[in-house]
Structure 1
Amino acid sequence: MKQILTFISLLILNVCFSQEIAVLKYSGGGDWYSNPTSLPNLAKFCNQNINTTINTKTATVEANSVEIFSYPFIHMTGHGNVVFSPNDIQNLKNYLTSGGFLHIDDNYGMDEFVRKEIQKIFPDNNLREIPNQHEIFKTPYNFPNGLPKIHEHENNKPQAFGIFIENRLVLLYTYESDLGDGWEDEEVHNDPISVREKALKMGANIVNYVFKN
């Protein structure tokens, strides 16, 4: 049964919904719904600049739902607690090992919680810091110094961590960067254009990696 589900999931991911993105709804009390304009703006930027055809109306999917298999790119953010149930964990693991991709962007305050939940999904595959030479920082936009800093919180450097399966990055965790804030409508945070552009270009690199790998 699990093999059949995996096969169906791959078909859905790679054929039917090849350029769709969604926000992940999770339990625990964290504000998964923060940054509501982020993904629509990222989709618009990618469609205009890297020749994607992403639906700009963002969907919401739950961690334990079969619907996650309809989206090759899922984005997760928030400020607080994150809790994955056993069903969430198994479903997310099946999704990520079947060709899906999860981007977790710490909006400040979720780090101590989300790391524990990631470890539950992949207990034998630890988060690794992604080197600046990785292709996700090179194309279509070059970030020679790695992940850009969008918002300041603790005066720490921005870091990108990942879970790799057979050399494919399946889970990206961006920490102390706040990319999602940089994707939001300009009036939300009043960031200068140069900062928002850096955030959107880095987001485009992530999208590009997902759709071409």
Structure 2
Amino acid sequence: MKYVLVFIVSVLALNLSSQEVAVLKYKGGGDWYSNPTALPNLVKFCNDNIDTNINESIATVEVGSVDIFQYPFLHMTGHGNVFFNEEETENLRNYLFSGGFLHIDDNYGMEPYIRKELKKVFPNKDLIPIPKTHPVFNTAFDFPNGLPKIHEHDGKAPRALGIFEDNRLLLLFTFESDLGDGWEDPEVHNDPEDVREKALKMGANIMKYVFIN
């Protein structure tokens, strides 16, 4: 196991400079493929506005695949059930502890399922609120009030929770916000331009935190 982890760290280190992102495909019946235009639009916004050089061809990778180690940034979304088996749980844990980053954006209805699966990945860690002073809220654009509200579902305040290791944010979970809907093509949800801009700017903060900080 020791040598496997050394290999994983080495592979990830080789790829941290490549600026590649991918959508995470998972089991359980949830629609991991929702918001298909979201990540491409966010990547283009970042390349145009915050001097990133991210590949605009978005890959899809499965939780249990070694291919996840090619991507420093993984994005996960959906509305429903999520399930990680034992192999997937270990693979995702190794990826995150080795320097990878996962953004989970609840598209509405995902929260109770992903919380359960994350306890498998991190049995000794909890999702905790991210303070409004954290760099993820100001690294490119200022969000002094924290996570913006993009879509109304239950009328609840948007929440940003994270899992940390040695003060490094390695997983960000956003819900009651629906950032991904704001990243999609304008005609998909007919969001006002200022709402889409807020979503894209917050997404750019996340990307910059991963790739530049």
TM-score by length of 1: 0.97
Work out whether residues 26 and 84 of structure 2, in 8 Å CA contact, stay in contact via their aligned partners in 1: yes
Deviation, structure 1 residue 2: 1.8
Work out whether residues 9 and 95 of structure 1, in 8 Å CA contact, stay in contact via their aligned partners in 2: no
Runs of 4+ in structure 1 deviating by more than 6 angstroms, as ranges, are none
Q: Deviations over 1:30-65 (max 9, x none)?
A: 000000000100000000000011111110000000
The separation in 2 between residues aligned to 1:28 and 1:101, in whole angstroms, is: 22
* Unmatched 5+ stretches in structure 1: none
- Matched AA of 1:11: A
Map 1:48-63 → 2, pairs under 5 A: 48-63=48-63
Helix, strand or coil at the partner of 1:5: helix
Structure 2 match to 1:6: 8
* Unmatched 5+ stretches in structure 2: none
Work out whether residues 12 and 70 of structure 2, in 8 Å CA contact, stay in contact via their aligned partners in 1: no
- Matched AA of 1:182: G
- Matched AA of 2:187: E
Work out whether residues 39 and 58 of structure 2, in 8 Å CA contact, stay in contact via their aligned partners in 1: yes
Q: Deviations over 1:55-96 (max 9, x none)?
A: 111100000001100000000000000000111100000000
Q: Percent identity?
A: 64
Work out whether residues 163 and 171 of structure 2, in 8 Å CA contact, stay in contact via their aligned partners in 1: yes
Map 1:8-157 → 2, pairs under 5 A: 8-15=10-17, 17=18, 19-157=19-157
- Matched AA of 1:100: G
Work out whether residues 13 and 99 of structure 1, in 8 Å CA contact, stay in contact via their aligned partners in 2: no
> Aligned-residue CA RMSD in angstroms?
0.9
Q: Deviations over 1:112-137 (max 9, x none)?
A: 10001111101101110101111110
Work out whether residues 8 and 69 of structure 2, in 8 Å CA contact, stay in contact via their aligned partners in 1: no
Deviation, structure 1 residue 3: 3.1
The separation in 2 between residues aligned to 1:51 and 1:163, in whole angstroms, is: 27
The separation in 1 between residues aligned to 2:9 and 2:85, in whole angstroms, is: 24
Helix, strand or coil at the partner of 2:116: helix
The separation in 2 between residues aligned to 1:116 and 1:212, in whole angstroms, is: 31
The separation in 2 between residues aligned to 1:143 and 1:86, in whole angstroms, is: 38
Q: Deviations over 1:7-45 (max 9, x none)?
A: 323323324x2x111000000000000000001000000
Work out whether residues 13 and 100 of structure 1, in 8 Å CA contact, stay in contact via their aligned partners in 2: no
- Paired residues, what number? 211
Q: Deviations over 1:142-168 (max 9, x none)?
A: 000000000000010000000001000
The separation in 2 between residues aligned to 1:102 and 1:150, in whole angstroms, is: 20
The separation in 1 between residues aligned to 2:16 and 2:132, in whole angstroms, is: 28
